[in-house]
Amino acid sequence: MNVAEKIRTSQRINFDEALSLYEMDFFELGELADIKRKALHDKKTYFNINRHINPTNICADVCKFCAYSANRKNPNPYTMSHEEIMQIVKDAYNRGIKEVHIVSAHNPDTGIEWYLDIFSKIKTAYPDLHIKALTAAEVDFLARHYHKSYDAILDLMIESGVDSMPGGGAEIFDEGVRDYICKGKVTSDQWLEIHQKWHERGKKSNVTMLFGHVEKREHRIDHMLRIRELQDKTGGFNCFIPLVYQTENNYLKIQDPITANEILKTMAISRIVLDNVPNIKAYWVTSTVNLALVAQEFGANDLDGTIERESINSAAGAASANGVNLQEFVALIKNTGFIPVERDSVYNEIKEW
Ligand code: V47
C-alpha cells in the first residue's frame, strides 16, 4: 500500500513515509491534508480574541534566531512593572479579550515573585480571563535560577492562576540543530518532560516548531514524531504551531528564506503526521495573513487571534506589532470560504461569526 492510500485509510505513517510527502505532488498533498482537516473540523476556522504581553526582554540565554531579547542588535532593555501589566490587562479586558498570553525573556534580576505574582493579581481582578503563560523554556530557567524542581514551578503556576501553557521554546528538537541555534537553553527532553508533567496535572498546552532556518526536512519530521509520541501518552496538546523563522535583526545568517511552497507542504505534512493533535495553527504573525488564509486549504484550522500587540516575532521582521482588526480578520476568513468560529483558549466554541 502506498503512502497516499495509507493516509486515505487513516493509517499512521512512519518517518520515511512522512519525509516522502515532501516529494509528493503539491496539490495531492494539500488534498490529503484537507481530508484530515475536514474530518476533524469541516470548514470551521478557529480564532480567539486575545492579547499578547511580553513583560521583559532582558535574557540570560542567547538564542541565535532571537531578535527580541536586549543585546547588541537590540540595545533596548525593558522590564514592565506589575502596575503597567495590570493597566494593559484592564484596557484589553474592557475591549473584550478572553485570553491573555504572557511570555517573557529569562530575566535573572526580577525575583521569582515578579514572574508569578502577576498571575494571581490578574486572576483576582478578572477570574474569567484565561491566562496562558510561561513557556517550558521559562519554566526551566526559573527552576535552574531559583533552585526549584519543575514540579514545584508548575505547582506554583497553577496556584497563581495559570490556566494553560503556550507552546514556545520548542524550536527544533534535533539536538545538533538545537545546539547550533540555542545552546544552553532548555533541552528537547526537558521541554517534553515539562509538558508531560503539566499534562499529568490535568492541564492543556500547545507545541510549536521553529522552521525555515538551518534545519532540514528530516529534522521537522523528527520534531513532529517526538510530539506524536508524547501526545499518545498524555493527550495534553491542544494545538501544533509551525512558526516560520523571521530573518531580521538576529545572529542566524540565512541567505535563502523559506518559500511559501515549503511552508504549505510543512503545514500539510504536520496535519497528516500529527493524527492525535486536534488543531494545527497557521500563526499569521510568522506566515503573513495571506499565506495563513491559503494554509486553511493545507490542513490548518486555526489562525490564532487578534493579538493586539506582539514583540517577539515583530522584532525579527514580522508585521504583527499591532495585531489585526477583528472585523477584517473575520471578513478574510469568510471570503476564503471558511467559517470563522471564535473559540476559547481550550477550544470550546464561543460564537460563529
Ligand atoms: O519560542 C523567536 C519564536 C516563539 C523568532 O502557544 C521566532 O498559542 C520566528 O511560541 N522567527 C514565541 N519565530 C511565540 C510562541 C507562540 C506564538 C503564538 C501562539 C503560541 C501558543 C505560541 O517565537 C519562541 C520562538 O520559537 N521566535 N524568534 C524568529 N526570528
The angle formed by the CA atoms of residues 334, 336 and 338, to the nearest 5 degrees, is: 55
| CA dihedral of 317, 323, 324, 327, whole degrees rounded to 10 | 180
Tell me if 320 CB under 6 Å of ligand 1. no
Is pLDDT at 251 greater than 80 in this prediction?
yes
Starting at the edge strand found earlier in the chain, the sheet holding 130-133 runs: 50-53, 99-102, 130-133
User: Could you give the percent of the chain with pLDDT greater than 90?
Assistant: 82
Which residue's alpha carbon is at the smallest distance from atom 24 of ligand 1?
168
Q: 249 pLDDT band (50/70/90 cuts)?
A: confident
Centroid of ligand 1 to alpha carbon of 150 (angstroms): 22
Q: What would the pLDDT profile of 195-225 be if each residue is shown by its tens digit?
A: 999 999 999 999 999 999 999 999 999 999 9
pLDDT at 178: 98
Q: Which of 270, 242, 284, 351 is nearest to 52 (CA)?
A: 284
Domain ranges of the chain: 3-345
Tell me if 304 CB under 6 Å of ligand 1. yes
Pairing of the two strands 349-352 and 339-343: antiparallel
The pLDDT of 9-30, averaged and rounded, is: 98
Starting at the edge strand found earlier in the chain, the sheet holding 302-305 runs: 302-305, 44-48, 339-343, 349-352
Q: What residues contact residue 118 under an 8 Å CB cut-off, 6+ apart?
A: 55, 82, 85, 86, 102
- Superfamily designation of domain 3-345: Aldolase class I (3.20.20.70)
Is pLDDT at 71 greater than 80 in this prediction?
no
pTM summary value: 0.97
Q: What would the pLDDT profile of 219-248 be if each residue is shown by its tens digit?
A: 999 999 999 999 999 999 999 999 999 988
Q: What would the pLDDT profile of 85-131 be if each residue is shown by its tens digit?
A: 999 999 999 999 999 999 999 999 999 999 999 999 999 999 999 99
State which of 312, 314, 344 you would mutate to test the pocket of ligand 1, scoring each by most atoms of that ligand within 8 A of its C-beta. 312
Give the position, in ligand 1's atom list, of the atom nearest the Cα of 171. 26
Tell me if 246 CB under 6 Å of ligand 1. yes
